[in-house]
């Protein structure tokens, strides 16, 4: 199976965010049609999940990345092969110039694709905000905690959700996983910059010069995008619903990138 159309080129200054929905697999015929697109290892992993909801989430994630990448590179979805670095960041094998990052939840899975530059993405449902706020001392930096503790009620929960998705997107863009100390970098809100990323020198990075990031909302979820590059990127949002159907481009809406240009 090949996608509906293949783009002849990508804009290096554009990010491509793709969305899919695990609950679409409630229809057994869709799951049955998708399974042949998986590798042998992926099919084995799929069978290992104990709960159906986790099987749907995994299947949606694997089919989304295969279908989305084939939209920009002329090979069929079942042909893609992947490898991960020691911290779990995936890459296509052989290298075709496309960079991607994945994030998944029970209700929404996303794939962020760029050409050349490293992307990072995280998605969290709104209902996880309280759980994340309760874990704040363990996952946020002292500077982030100081700002968080000044907030109350829903504003505090909303900030906790934004902080976690931003931190996850940065970690995933760096490709270092949780080997990157969570208390050594901070997303700070307020002032002329809106949101700024501050890093401990031990992390050997240049936040203002190397990274652009944003927050957006979709289908009851908060999504954080991180993009390598000095230019504020354009954004395209695509949806496959159900998976195997032709993709639909969605309005990206107003997206505020930080640092501001």
pTM, full prediction: 0.94
pLDDT for residue 191 = 85
Look at residue 83 in the predicted model and tell me its pLDDT.
Answer: 94
Residue 130: pLDDT band (50, 70, 90) is very high
> Is pLDDT above 90 for 242?
no
Distance CA 69, CA 72 (A): 6
Q: What DSSP string describes 206-261?
A: -HHHHEEEEEEEETTEEEEEEEESSSPPEEEEEE-SSTTSPPEEEP------BS--
pLDDT of residue 122: 98
- Band of the pLDDT at 192, cuts 50, 70, 90? confident
Domain-embedded: residue 82: yes
β 234-239/14-20 pair status: parallel
Is residue 255, in this structure, part of any structural domain at all?
A: no
Tell me the pLDDT tens digit for each residue of 58-103. Answer: 999 999 999 999 999 999 999 999 999 888 889 999 999 999 999 9
pLDDT at 208: 64
Residue 127 lies inside a defined structural domain of this protein: yes
Residue 170, domain member (yes or no)? yes
pLDDT range class, residue 2, cuts 50, 70, 90: very low
Q: Is residue 146 part of a domain?
A: yes
Number of domains forming the structure of the chain? 1
CATH for 154: 3.90.470.20
37-51, 62-76, 93-107, 167-181: segment of lowest average pLDDT: 167-181
Cis check: omega of the bond before 259, within 30 degrees of 0:
yes
Q: Give the domain extent around 102.
A: 14-250
Residue 198 has pLDDT above 80, yes or no: yes
The residue-averaged pLDDT of 164-178 equals 92
260 within domain boundaries = no
Model confidence band, residue 9 (pLDDT cutoffs 50, 70, 90): low
Asked whether residue 121 is assigned to any structural domain, the reply reads yes
Q: How far, in whole angstroms, is CA 255 from its chain's centroid?
A: 16
Residue-level pLDDT at 260: 75
pLDDT digits (tens, 9 = 90+) for 210-230: 899 999 999 999 999 999 988
Q: Is 6 within a domain? A: no
Tokens of 84: 């991960």
* DSSP track, 23-87: GGGGSHHHHHHHGGGS-HHHHHHHHH-SSHHHHHHHHHHHHHHHHHHHTTSSS-GGG-EEEE-TT
């Amino acid at each position: 199976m090949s996608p509906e159309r293949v783009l002849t080129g990508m804009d290096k200054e554009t990010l491509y965010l793709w969305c899919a929905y695990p609950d679409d697999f409630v229809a057994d015929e869709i799951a049955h049609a998708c399974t042949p697109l998986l590798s042998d290892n992926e099919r084995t992993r799929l069978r290992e999940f104990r709960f159906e909801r986790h099987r749907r989430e995994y299947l949606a994630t694997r089919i989304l990345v295969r279908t989305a990448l084939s939209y920009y590179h002329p090979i069929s979805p079942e042909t893609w092969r992947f490898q991960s670095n020691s911290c779990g960041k995936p890459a296509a094998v052989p290298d075709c110039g496309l960079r991607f990052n994945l994030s998944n939840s029970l209700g929404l899975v996303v794939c962020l694709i760029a050409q050349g530059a490293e992307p990072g993405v995280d998605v969290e449902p709104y209902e996880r905000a309280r759980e994340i706020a309760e874990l704040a001392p363990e996952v946020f930096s002292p500077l982030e905690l100081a700002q968080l503790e000044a907030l109350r009620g829903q504003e505090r929960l909303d900030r906790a959700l934004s902080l976690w998705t931003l931190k996850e997107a940065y970690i995933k863009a760096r490709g270092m996983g949780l080997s990157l100390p969570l208390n050594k970098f901070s997303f700070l809100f307020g002032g002329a910059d809106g949101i700024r990323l501050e890093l401990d020198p031990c992390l050997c990075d240049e936040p203002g010069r190397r990274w652009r990031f944003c927050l957006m909302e979709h289908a009851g979820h908060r999504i954080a995008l991180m993009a390598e590059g000095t230019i504020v990127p354009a954004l395209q949002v695509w949806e496959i619903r159900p998976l195997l159907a032709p993709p639909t481009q969605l309005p990206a809406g107003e997206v505020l990138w930080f640092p501001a240009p």
